Amino acid sequence: MISTKMQAALNEQVNKEFYSAYMYLAMSAYSNTIGLPGFAHWMRMQYEEETLHVTKMYDYILNQGGEVELLAVEKPPKKYGSPLEIFKKTLEHEQYVTSLIHKLMDLAVEERDYATQTFLQWYVTEQVEEESNVNDIVAPLRMVGDDKSGLMLIDRQLAGRVAPTPLPVK
């Protein structure tokens, strides 16, 4: 069982995870438009990953006897600037999501909601990985700057990102 306050906060986070999925899909489309198919693929995989973050939380609310309320998803930007800017914006976004997860954890601690604390631990760990993965892409992008062959090499590497493992359907 979860409190009404926790239920509302988790529903808000479901919405933020949906926005993340939506934004990465927009980034994927943008990357295609500017001729970077590897970037587009990486963003498409990130979109898939975010949909898993959505459904994992959705399932948790239901499993706890709560009510899911799907809120309106904000429209993401259409353009994201240079290849480096795309990933700098990705890093900023993931840092923002980390702060949201930490606020949720603060609430779970305040409410002495042990089940939600355990559940959210998965997201805390996931955010460390997400930020680290993006940092590992921002660093070489900074190094290559405007060098076209360097960018093409990174694009080819990003094309190799594998699809996330789907969650079991409840």
Nearest CB to ligand FEO, comparing residues 113 and 130: 130
Nearest CB to ligand FEO, comparing residues 49 and 155: 49
CB of 49 to ligand FEO, least distance (A): 7
For residue 44, state whether it binds ligand FEO (rule: CB under 6 A): no
Strand (E) or helix (H) holding 92: helix 83-110
Nearest CB to ligand FEO, comparing residues 94 and 113: 94
How far apart CA 95 and CA 116 sit, in angstroms, is 21
Residue showing the smallest CB distance to ligand FEO in the complex: 53
For residue 25, state whether it binds ligand FEO (rule: CB under 6 A): no
Binding mask 49-68 for ligand FEO (x = CB under 6 A): -x--x---------------
How far apart CA 121 and CA 149 sit, in angstroms, is 41
Tokens (6 digits) for 45: 């995989």
Among 20, 28, 31, 116, contact with ligand FEO (rule: CB under 6 A)? 20
Binding residues for ligand FEO, total number by CB under 6 A: 7
Report 80-109 residues binding ligand FEO (CB under 6 A): 94, 97
- Provide DSSP, 38-90: HHHHHHHHHHHHHHHHHHHHHHHHHHTT----PPPPPPPPS---SHHHHHHHH
For residue 17, state whether it binds ligand FEO (rule: CB under 6 A): yes
How far apart CA 157 and CA 41 sit, in angstroms, is 10
How far apart CA 68 and CA 15 sit, in angstroms, is 11
CA terminus-to-terminus distance, the chain: 18
Among 130, 151, 155, 158, contact with ligand FEO (rule: CB under 6 A)? 130
Contacts of 68 (CB under 8 A, 6+ apart): 11, 14, 58, 61, 62
CB of 112 to ligand FEO, least distance (A): 26
| Residues engaged in binding ligand FEO (CB under 6 A) | 17, 20, 50, 53, 94, 97, 130
